[in-house]
């Protein structure tokens, strides 16, 4: 029988692309989908979901823009209903720490009757090298409305390893892994490590939420995205997540990658070369 592919919703994203590469390296068929893929998947167009789920064995689910937004819980519940209808073996959901709506979405998945794995992650290291913070690194200053609250930043490669294990090993069925890095750093401390690795000055500046939002508007960022970022910086980074968890070690039997190792590798790759 032909091998059924594994669906990757958000297959071109930071974690989805890494999971795709790992599965393909194992000789497994994949179906990475997005709004522009040959088989389209658009979270704002539920009519695209059914075709994307046709004929797949399992799925890795990343919700855009974030599980913290309105409508995410209903969307995950409906996707899980379709997955059960189409007899998918498992859904692996990327979730966020300390986000009330994200945890309601997790609950909807658990209640669906589909075998599940939840990977609840802290802030990605790669936001500094592949995401919206890279411009600040290149400019020599990152300015955010975050003070001295520490965060155990997680590496996207660790997330991808956990997700790949969950998609390929029955032992991870119906388990929640809360994945973080092995230590906490404030944003100022993280930026200092980036500066050291990059070999040039990069400073961190704390600004007010109002100044941050004004800068986002000036850059043409949509209001709903500004509201999401404001919630993430004010709610998720209020101290509730300032502790290390061991989901990477629980899932993989090895420790999570340290931020300094990530910074050295990103600098060596040329990500921060001006």
Confidence of residue 2 (pLDDT cuts 50, 70, 90): low
Q: Of 8-17, 140-149, 227-236, where does mean pLDDT reach its minimum?
A: 227-236
Task: Tell me which DSSP letter residue 144 carries.
Answer: E
Residue 197 inside a domain? The answer is no
Whole-angstrom Cα distance, residue 233 to residue 224? 14
Segment 37-90, tens digit of pLDDT: 899 999 999 999 999 999 999 999 999 999 988 899 999 999 999 999 999 999
Residue 266 inside a domain? The answer is no
Whole-angstrom Cα distance, residue 211 to residue 127? 21
Residue 135 inside a domain? The answer is no
The answer to whether 204 and 195 are in contact (CB under 8 A) is: no
Q: Write out the DSSP string of 243-273.
A: S---HHHHHHSSPPPPHHHHHHHHHHHTTT-
The CATH number assigned to the domain holding 159 equals 3.40.50.720
Q: What pLDDT was estimated at residue 149?
A: 95
Segment 185-226, tens digit of pLDDT: 999 999 999 999 999 999 999 999 999 999 989 989 888 888
Q: What pLDDT was estimated at residue 233?
A: 85
Number of structural domains the chain divides into: 1
Residue 208 inside a domain? The answer is no
Residue 101 inside a domain? The answer is yes
107 is in which domain, residue-wise?
6-125+153-181+242-257
Segment 88-136, tens digit of pLDDT: 999 999 999 988 899 999 999 999 999 999 999 999 999 999 998 999 9
Residue 189 inside a domain? The answer is no
pTM of the model: 0.96
Mean pLDDT calculated for residue range 241-253: 97
1 pLDDT more than 70:
no
Residue 174 inside a domain? The answer is yes
Confidence of residue 6 (pLDDT cuts 50, 70, 90): very high
262-to-16, 231, 251 alpha-carbon distances in Å: 19, 27, 20
Residue 14 inside a domain? The answer is yes
């Amino acid at each position: 029988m032909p091998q059924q592919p594994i669906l990757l919703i958000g297959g071109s994203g930071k974690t989805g692309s890494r999971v795709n590469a790992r599965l393909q390296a194992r000789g497994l068929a994949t179906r990475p989908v997005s709004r522009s893929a040959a088989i389209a998947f658009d979270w704002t167009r539920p009519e695209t979901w059914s075709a994307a789920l046709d004929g797949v064995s399992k799925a890795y689910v990343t919700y855009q823009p974030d599980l913290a937004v309105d409508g995410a819980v209903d969307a995950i519940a409906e996707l899980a209903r379709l997955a059960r209808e189409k007899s998918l073996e498992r859904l692996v959901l990327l979730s966020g720490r300390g986000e009330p709506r994200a945890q309601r979405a997790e609950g909807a998945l658990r209640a669906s009757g589909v075998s599940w794995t939840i990977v609840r992650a802290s802030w990605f290291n790669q936001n500094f090298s592949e995401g919206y913070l890279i411009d600040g690194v290149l400019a020599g200053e990152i300015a955010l409305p975050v003070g001295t609250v520490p965060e155990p930043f997680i590496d996207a490669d660790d997330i991808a390893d956990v997700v790949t294990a969950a998609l390929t090993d029955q032992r991870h069925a119906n388990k929640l892994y809360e994945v973080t890095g092995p230590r906490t750093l404030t944003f100022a401390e993280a930026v200092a490590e980036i500066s050291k690795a990059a070999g040039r000055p990069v400073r961190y500046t704390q600004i007010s939420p109002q100044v941050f939002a004004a800068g986002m508007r000036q850059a043409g960022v949509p209001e709903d995205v500004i509201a999401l970022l404001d919630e993430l910086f004010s709610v998720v980074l209020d101290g509730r997540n300032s502790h290390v968890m061991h989901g990477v070690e629980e899932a993989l039997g090895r420790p999570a990658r340290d931020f300094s190792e990530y910074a050295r590798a990103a600098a060596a790759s040329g990500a921060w070369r001006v």
